């Protein structure tokens, strides 16, 4: 099968990879569409410490079941499915509880030990598939995973109807967060970014206000204005901005992966009774995210800026990593 193998930092090449035999409880999925995640760029650049080489990356994907091993599987050849990319020991109590993201055995497909979806096919555990409803395209289905990242961040922040939400960062997840926030009842949604095109897209997706922060965040416009701040940047400056923006009793949720430890102004947070939370991955259910996409409340395909064939993806990724091309979301057709 054709696949993109990452043999080391900045060493992503099209190869002819062997088709792996199935074990009981596993499913072979024929990949149709696979999105490039921000963590994929980090892996390819050699900046994600968990990455083990060689590996076939890719975890935001959808396709069709080709083969099933095990007579009691709920899946059959021909079923359309999206990937829930978390691997977890089936015997771990967290697995039974649906909290697969909280297990010590948690691993994301295409990063450590299991080859991912930048390939014509991928072998998955049968619990890693989610049914795709009629009317949801393969492209949209491939983006259920990042939609769930957005939904989980908002749920962690306990968003209430009518609240004011500020989203720091209008990357692909940020643009999903602003849509999900509106769909889940936010009364006012604002977003920040350094890239005008991303802010323009945010406006098209219905945000109330955008802030171009190339020259810094306008403190006079955001101080104590928001009930909930969703931080997709995850550095010391962004958390400081989030604390400034929070009203008394506000909440901050950081889903952006910090590059290292950061200082948090606990005294300032205490004086405003602000809560700081993190949001890493998601639980076993994609139901809410799938429902938002199926209903059209979250328009996933509107944030896709590039569509590329599998064999052409390495060159595009190189241009993006080198800063020679700007993208929001890249979708690979296999």
Summarize pLDDT for 35-82 with one digit per residue, the tens. Answer: 999 999 999 999 998 999 999 999 999 999 999 998 788 999 999 999
pLDDT band at 259 (very low <50, low <70, confident <90, very high): confident
- 295: phi > 0 → left, psi -120 to 50 → alpha, else beta; which? alpha
Q: Enumerate the CATH 3.40.50.720 domain ranges in the chain, comma separated.
A: 146-278
Please check whether residue 186 is in contact with residue 163, taking contact to mean a CB–CB distance below 8 angstroms: yes
The pTM (predicted TM-score) of the whole model is 0.96
Burial of residue 91 (number of CB atoms within 10 Å: 0-12, 13-18, 19+): exposed
Q: Compute the distance between CA of residue 334 and CA of residue 327 in angstroms, rounded to an integer.
A: 20
Q: Is the pLDDT of residue 276 over 80?
A: yes
Host H or E run for residue 83 = strand 80-83
> So what's the pLDDT on residue 215?
87
- Distance between CA 215 and CA 206 in Å, rounded? 24
User: Cβ–Cβ contacts within 10 Å for residue 45, how many?
Assistant: 13
**pLDDT above 90 coverage of the chain, percent:** 96
261, two tokens: 């430890």
Class assignment of domain 2-142+299-333? alpha beta
Mean pLDDT of 279-292: 97
Domain with CATH 3.90.180.10 in the chain: 2-142+299-333
Note the pLDDT of residue 302: 96
Over 80: is that where the pLDDT of 279 sits? yes
Based on the number of CB atoms within 10 Å of its own CB, is 315 exposed (0-12), middle (13-18) or buried (19 or more)?
exposed
Q: Which pLDDT belongs to residue 6?
A: 98
Mean pLDDT across the chain: 97
3-class state of residue 232 by DSSP:
coil
Please determine, looking at this structure, whether the domain spanning 146-278 carries the CATH number 3.40.50.720. Answer: yes
Mean pLDDT of 212-227: 94
């Amino acid at each position: 099968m054709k696949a993109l193998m990452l043999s080391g930092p900045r060493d992503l090449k099209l190869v002819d990879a062997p088709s792996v035999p199935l074990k009981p409880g596993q499913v072979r999925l024929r990949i149709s569409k696979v999105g490039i995640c921000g963590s994929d760029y980090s892996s390819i650049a050699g900046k994600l410490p968990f990455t083990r080489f060689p590996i076939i990356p890719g975890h935001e994907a959808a396709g069709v079941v080709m083969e099933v091993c095990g007579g009691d599987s709920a899946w059959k050849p021909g079923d359309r499915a999206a990937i829930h990319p978390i691997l977890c020991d089936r015997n771990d109590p967290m697995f039974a509880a649906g909290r697969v993201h909280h297990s010590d055995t948690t691993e994301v497909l295409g990063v450590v030990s299991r080859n991912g979806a930048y390939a014509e096919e991928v072998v998955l555990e049968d619990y890693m598939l989610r049914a795709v409803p009629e009317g949801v395209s393969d492209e949209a289905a491939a983006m259920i995973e990042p939609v769930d990242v957005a939904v989980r961040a908002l749920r962690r922040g306990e968003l209430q109807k009518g609240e004011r939400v500020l989203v720091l960062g209008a990357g692909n997840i940020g643009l999903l967060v602003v849509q999900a926030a509106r769909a889940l009842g936010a009364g006012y949604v604002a977003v920040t970014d350094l890239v005008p095109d991303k802010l323009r897209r945010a406006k098209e997706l219905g945000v109330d206000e955008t802030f171009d922060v190339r020259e810094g965040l306008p403190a006079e416009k955001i101080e104590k204005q928001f009930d909930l701040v969703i931080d997709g940047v995850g550095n010391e400056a962004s958390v400081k901005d989030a604390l400034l923006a929070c009203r008394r009793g506000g909440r901050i949720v950081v889903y952006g992966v910090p590059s290292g430890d950061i200082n948090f102004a606990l005294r300032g947070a205490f004086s405003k009774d602000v809560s700081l939370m993190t949001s890493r991955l998601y639980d076993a259910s994609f139901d809410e995210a799938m429902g938002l996409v199926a209903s059209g409340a979250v328009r996933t395909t509107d944030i896709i800026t590039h569509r590329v064939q599998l064999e052409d993806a390495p060159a595009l990724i190189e241009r993006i990593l080198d800063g020679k091309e700007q993208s929001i979301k890249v979708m690979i057709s296999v």
